[in-house]
Amino acid sequence: RKPTMAQSLRDQFAGAEDDDTLNKRANNYYGSQVPGYDERCLHGGPPPSEVAASGVHAATVECLFHMVELNNRGVLEARRRGLNPHDTKDMIVRQELGYLMEFWRPRMPMVTPTTWKMVLSSGVDACANADHNMARYNVRIASMLLGLADHGWDGWHRIITTTTGVPPDLKRHNRWMAQTQTDLGLILFFKDQIPCHCFDTLAHLALQKPQQRKCAYCGIQDDHTKILSCKSCKSVAYCSRDHQAADWPAHKPSCLFVKRHRRESR
């Protein structure tokens, strides 16, 4: 049976005794009630034997564990410094990006063209169990691993730190992040990514609900008629004029960049 991550992560927080305990509990975790969902399906990921031999499952569980810790510490630090939600998110994203690059640097021998698919498969399982935050962690790791597999550590580092233009693979990474901001968006993202039919019903149900947006300032999710896009760039949305005004100093550079890029592309 395929290895899983979300319960392994919780067991690490709970102080599980050993790896066998982690694996036994993880293998008994998933039992999704989503119609048409097969908990035994690999969702396009590599076979369990390949994953076990590479050691990437254990490495990814460790990576997830530290990402959660990093985010929690970031939130506490932001509160101590009195940062607004946008600056808090920006700080955590930069810290997380740096952590991911340094975590996988000595583990590059584990990174293959299928490693990211294993991580994405675990994200599908988490999403099916309504653990959307865990699923987003998996998406972020999978995106990084795909970039590392395609370009190597040095090449991917140059791409994500570039200050001139936006390379195609960085656009792909940014697109994944944007598509998975809301819970409904996350479901539809997985539906498009996996070759199986496990999310067909879930995606169908998601499409029956009103389109969701996420406030770029406070993070609240709601009907797209209540959270409106920035009229200037249409790339972010806000739940109120107050939050749009509060976010403007941080949003202004990207807003002007998007407008200029669109004007030049015509």
DSSP for 160-184, written as a single string: HT--SS--HHHHHHHHHHHHTSSHH
DSSP state of 215: B
211 or 197, greater pLDDT: 197
> What integer pLDDT is reported at residue 33 of this predicted model?
61
Number of Cβ within a 10 Å radius of residue 120:
25
Q: Is a pLDDT exceeding 50 seen at residue 158?
A: yes
Place of tokens 């389109």: 211
- Helices 56-81 + 6-14 axis angle, to 10: 60
> What integer pLDDT is reported at residue 86 of this predicted model?
66
Q: Is a pLDDT exceeding 90 seen at residue 152?
A: yes
Q: Is a pLDDT exceeding 60 seen at residue 113?
A: yes
Number of Cβ within a 10 Å radius of residue 7:
25
Q: Where are the alpha helices (DSSP H) in the chain?
A: 6-14, 19-27, 48-54, 56-81, 85-104, 115-128, 132-160, 168-179, 183-193, 200-208, 241-265
**Closest by Cα among 103, 185, 89 to 141:** 103
Tens of pLDDT, residues 78-111: 878 887 766 777 788 888 989 999 999 999 999 9
- The reported pTM is 0.72
Task: List 222's β-bridge partners, or say none.
Answer: 213
Q: How far apart are CA 158 and CA 263, in angstroms?
A: 27
Q: How far apart are CA 124 and CA 52, in angstroms?
A: 19
Q: How far apart are CA 259 and CA 235, in angstroms?
A: 10
Provide mean pLDDT across the span 214-222: 79
Number of Cβ within a 10 Å radius of residue 161:
10
Q: How far apart are CA 214 and CA 247, in angstroms?
A: 14
